[in-house]
Amino acid sequence: MNIYVQMASFNRIETEQLVLRPFSMSDDKDMFAYACQADNLVYVFPAHKDIAETRLAIATMFMKAPLGKWAIENKADQKMIGTLTFVKLDEKQRTVEIGYVLNQDYWGKGLMTEAVRTLTDISLTAFGLNYVDIVVDSENLGSIRVAEKAGFQIADSYKALSPYTKVLRNFRRYRKGKHE
């Protein structure tokens, strides 16, 4: 089956503590709560200056082409607390790189690990992908822990092109029985 049809079938995913779901413009206040904090976004994107910038990001980055992009909602308080996205999808090789952001107020609770592990499991089974990558700045220790706890292993490291990033680590998780 086509991967886009599969992604459309999994546009809403529930875990024990989270709902991975499509974005809505009503997520603007929850997203702005973390998108305006530079220390929450050191490895991701510049902090948003105002809610209008957040609304523009929701519309253009997440709602314009919604497949492969999930808002992370915490079931306990029903707040949108982060994003989980397919950054690079290679249909021919059947691989994907995922990226994520989590509101700093929710760090250290295992929520991102739960989201990443769930989406990776679905990607390797239901979507039939051969492997999933997570590319992490070598200084982003929280993201490295998420990748490791979600079952990823270091595949390689390389010097980044950005003057702000020294070394990137590529973490990879394969479909069972599928190794290059």
In a domain, 24, yes or no: yes
Predicted local distance difference test score (pLDDT) of residue 138: 83
Query: Higher pLDDT residue, 25 or 172?
Result: 25
Reduce the DSSP state of residue 174 to 3 states and report it. Answer: strand
In a domain, 11, yes or no: yes
- Assess whether pLDDT exceeds 70 at residue 179: no
Question: What is the tens place of the pLDDT at every residue in 77-94?
Answer: 999 999 999 999 999 999
Question: What is the tens place of the pLDDT at every residue in 6-55?
Answer: 999 999 999 999 999 999 999 999 999 999 887 777 677 778 899 999 99
- Local confidence band at 160 (pLDDT 50, 70, 90 cut-offs): low
Query: Residue 116, Cβ neighbours under 10 Å: how many?
Result: 23
Interhelix angle 111-124/141-149, rounded to 10 degrees, is 50
**CATH for 102:** 3.40.630.30
- The end-to-end CA distance of the chain, in Å, is 23
Parent domain of 161: 3-174
3-state class percentages of the chain: helix first, strand second, coil last, to nearest 5: 35, 30, 35
Q: How many residues does the chain have?
A: 180
- Assess whether pLDDT exceeds 80 at residue 61: yes
In a domain, 126, yes or no: yes
- Assess whether pLDDT exceeds 60 at residue 72: yes
The answer to whether the pTM exceeds 0.85 is: yes
In a domain, 93, yes or no: yes
- Assess whether pLDDT exceeds 70 at residue 57: yes
In a domain, 179, yes or no: no
- The count of domains in the chain is 1
Reduce the DSSP state of residue 4 to 3 states and report it. Answer: helix
- Assess whether pLDDT exceeds 90 at residue 56: yes
In a domain, 160, yes or no: yes
C-alpha neighbours within 13 Å on the C-beta side of residue 75: 11
In a domain, 147, yes or no: yes
- Residues 63 and 77: their CA atoms lie apart, in Å, by 23
In a domain, 180, yes or no: no
Contact 72, 14 (CB under 8 A): no
Question: What is the tens place of the pLDDT at every residue in 99-155?
Answer: 999 999 999 999 999 999 999 999 999 999 999 999 988 888 899 999 999 999 988
